[in-house]
Amino acid sequence: MATYLTPALAWRRLREGNERFVAGESSHPNQDASRRSSLVENQHPFAVIFGCSDSRLAAEIIFDLGLGDAFVVRTAGQVIDDAVLGSLEYSIGVLGVPLIVVLGHDSCGAVSATKDAVETGKMPVGFIRDLVERITPSVLTSLRNNETEVNDMVVEHVKQTSHRLVDSSRVISSAIETGRAAVIGLSYSLKEGRADLVSGIGEL
């Protein structure tokens, strides 16, 4: 059974699932054998969640979702690369998902590492350096705005990432222009379990 939702209804469904999770009343929907069987031939997720790889940020759990509900893409610090853009374009262009969620969280290690690198001038080694380089513009913007806390930088990074997705992908921007999709940015509290809206692009 296909799930054709507007961006606003998709966000409402995520918000209600997160509220259940925060309250300790998760219903664990769509996690049984019949749901598994119904998804063998196709999938119709109602949201794509592009979030940080942090082990405490499991998308299906914090939004109380099940099999087939969300298309999930994760990198440390929700950093964009070509594979991420391709995955998101697939979700929008092929699967017809109406909502992209950019999900950051407080006390993010990747953002903290970038803050340290900017302040000390010492870059990490290996491919962690690539992560830091991609997050640096968000940290610099925060510092220019006199926002020196890591959690402020996380919010700025979520906002910048959301805009970069739209600027980088014609598939995504076209879907937003026609009202078929929207991009929202959320900041997640590790302690409370709540995902708060911090930005939105498109009709919600």
Q: In what order do the strands lie in the sheet with 182-188?
A: 70-75, 47-52, 99-105, 182-188, 195-201
In-domain check, residue 55? yes
pLDDT at site 3: 54
Please identify every stretch of the chain with a pLDDT value under 50, giving residue numbers as ranges.
1-2
Could you tell me the residue range of the domain that residue 18 belongs to?
7-103+162-197
- Which pLDDT tens digit goes with each residue over 52-64? 999 999 999 999 9
In-domain check, residue 96? yes
Closest to 167 (Cα-Cα) out of 133, 134, 141, 201: 201
In-domain check, residue 174? yes
In-domain check, residue 63? yes
For the chain, the domain total comes to 1
Closest to 78 (Cα-Cα) out of 110, 115, 51: 51
